[in-house]
Each structure stands twice: as C-alpha cells, then as structure tokens.
Chains A and B, each alone.
Chain A
C-alpha cells in the first residue's frame, strides 16, 4: 500500500536521518576523539541539522524546550501531535 505521509512527517524523517548520523558520529568520536575526518563529518552534519530544524520549527513549533528553541505566540510547545501520535 502506498500511503501519503504528512508534510510534518516528511520533514521529521529527514531530521531523523541527519540526527541519527550525528548520534553515530558522536558515539564514534567518543572512542576516537582524534579522528579528524569523523569530526569534520560531525560538524558538517550539525550544520545541516540546524537548518532542517529551523525550517521544521517555523511550521510546527519548537522541537526542544527549556530555552533551546524560541516559540511563536501562543506557546507552541504543547501543540499536538506529540511524537507517539504521528503517522509515518
């Protein structure tokens, strides 16, 4: 079955793939702190991720709270859907 996923889910999947790459490189760098190539990749992915999250947050509100991302009015942190409610 070919299902059509929402724009929100589409953006989230893109963020997931970049953030997952960052998680992997982060863990790798933890045990290989002198690997300059891995570090360059990590910093590059971090930049891409920042842009993707900025785009997402413009449409769907903050991905992170406690001062990490600003919010539009009214306070959008509590907007649904929460992660477990989203259809992918």
Chain B
C-alpha cells in the first residue's frame, strides 16, 4: 500500500500568476515523458522483475515520481492562483479554462489527455529497464525545453531540482540493468 505524507519533496515557489508557464508545465504532469507516465511505468513494470533489487528500485523510484507529480501540480496550482478568465484567455488557456477551470487536469501542454500508451510493459526485464533509462533522458530533455521557455526564476529552481533527479534515476536504473543482466547470464533454470 501507499501512505501519503503531508509535505512536498521540494519547496515550490512562484514569482506570481503566470498562465502561459502554467500551461507549459502541464507537459510534465500528463505528457508522454511526464511524472504520471514515469510513476505508472515503473509501478507497472515492477511485478515481474527477476531480482529483489529491480523490484525495489522500481517501487522506490516509482514512488518518488508520484512526489514529483505532486510538485508539478503544485506549480500549476500556484501559477494559476489569481489568474482572471481574461488573462487565461490571453495566454491561450481559454479552452482549458472552459473545461477545467483552474483544476489540474491530466493532459500535456498541447491539451492531449493522458494515456497509458505513453509507456511500455514488454514482459522482458531488459527491454523494460532500457525503456526506463530512455524515459529518464526524455524527461531530462523535457525539463530543459521548459527551462528554455520559462521566465520565472522561482519556477526554474524547482524545475532544476526535478531535472537533476532524472540524472540520478538514470544511474540507478543503469545499476539495476547490470544486476538483471548478470542474473540472466548466470541463472540456470532446470
């Protein structure tokens, strides 16, 4: 089971209302390489991993991704605080506002709703782990694209933290891949 902890993993600050940036950060909320896709990818793949290490790392990183998902939601919530309907409209959030108001909806920056098709579960631990490593790199690249588009240094501080986590997770998945490949090369089934 999971137990909620009533705190964020990292502080979230914004300089002020910014509907344009709020729309952009949704990419990491419900986008193909966002935090919801990451959490569901790892927490789905963990069941059939061959070693305790692989099951553990997928469980723990999957859980940390849920905390990152909450951080992105908090960014959106704070960036939309005080935004008027007219400002939402001017920032291109008219259609979003019509459907969701200021709720945080699972979609990407372009408005495409979240789908499980964003991640794989191939029934093969090596294929799954290599996908996970690629996912970390794609998420890192997405954070860099968003940093290039952002005009709020407070938001950048949080985005840089999340980006660095992708680097660390890549290292851990690399170590797990080695563990699983060694297991597959030595394990004999009779």
Chain A interface residues (CB < 8 Å from chain B) = 9, 12-13, 15-16, 19-20, 23-24, 26-28, 30-33, 62-66, 68, 77, 82-84, 86-88
**CB of B56 within 8 Å of the partner chain:** yes
Please report the C-alpha to C-alpha distance between residue A16 and residue B176 in the assembled complex, in whole angstroms.
26
Q: Which residues of B contact A88 (CB under 8 A)?
A: 11-13
Contact call A30/B56, Cβ cutoff below 8 A:
yes
Q: What 1/0 mask marks residues of chain B from 38 to 69 whose CB sits below 8 Å from any chain A CB?
A: 00000000000000010011001100100000
Please report the C-alpha to C-alpha distance between residue A77 and residue B4 in the assembled complex, in whole angstroms.
11
Q: How far is the CB of B131 from chain A (nearest CB, A)?
A: 18
Contact call A31/B179, Cβ cutoff below 8 A:
yes
Picked from A13, A16, A64, the residue with its CB within 8 Å of the CB of B6 is A64
Picked from B6, B57, B70, the residue with its CB within 8 Å of the CB of A27 is B57
Q: How far is the CB of B62 from chain A (nearest CB, A)?
A: 12
Contact call B77/A84, Cβ cutoff below 8 A:
yes
Q: Which residues of A contact B102 (CB under 8 A)?
A: none
Contact call A83/B8, Cβ cutoff below 8 A:
yes
Picked from A30, A33, A64, the residue with its CB within 8 Å of the CB of B5 is A64
Picked from A27, A65, A68, the residue with its CB within 8 Å of the CB of B61 is A27
* New A-B pairs, 18, CB < 8 Å, besides A64-B4, A84-B77: A12-B7, A16-B8, A16-B10, A16-B11, A19-B7, A20-B9, A20-B10, A30-B60, A31-B53, A31-B176, A33-B53, A63-B6, A63-B7, A66-B3, A68-B3, A82-B6, A83-B70, A83-B74
Q: Which residues of A contact B20 (CB under 8 A)?
A: none
Q: What 1/0 mask marks residues of chain B from 1 to 30 whose CB sits below 8 Å from any chain A CB?
A: 001111111111100000000000000000
Q: How far is the CB of B82 from chain A (nearest CB, A)?
A: 13
Q: Which residues of B contact A30 (CB under 8 A)?
A: 53, 56-57, 60, 172
Q: Which residues of B contact A68 (CB under 8 A)?
A: 3
**CB of B159 within 8 Å of the partner chain:** no
**CB of B78 within 8 Å of the partner chain:** yes
Q: How far is the CB of B105 from chain A (nearest CB, A)?
A: 15
Please report the C-alpha to C-alpha distance between residue A15 and residue B7 in the assembled complex, in whole angstroms.
9
Please report the C-alpha to C-alpha distance between residue A88 and residue B13 in the assembled complex, in whole angstroms.
6
Picked from A13, A28, A32, A77, the residue with its CB within 8 Å of the CB of B11 is A13
9 cross-chain pairs, A with B, having the tightest CB-CB distances, nearest first: A88-B11, A31-B175, A84-B74, A30-B56, A83-B8, A30-B57, A84-B77, A88-B13, A63-B6
Q: How far is the CB of B93 from chain A (nearest CB, A)?
A: 19
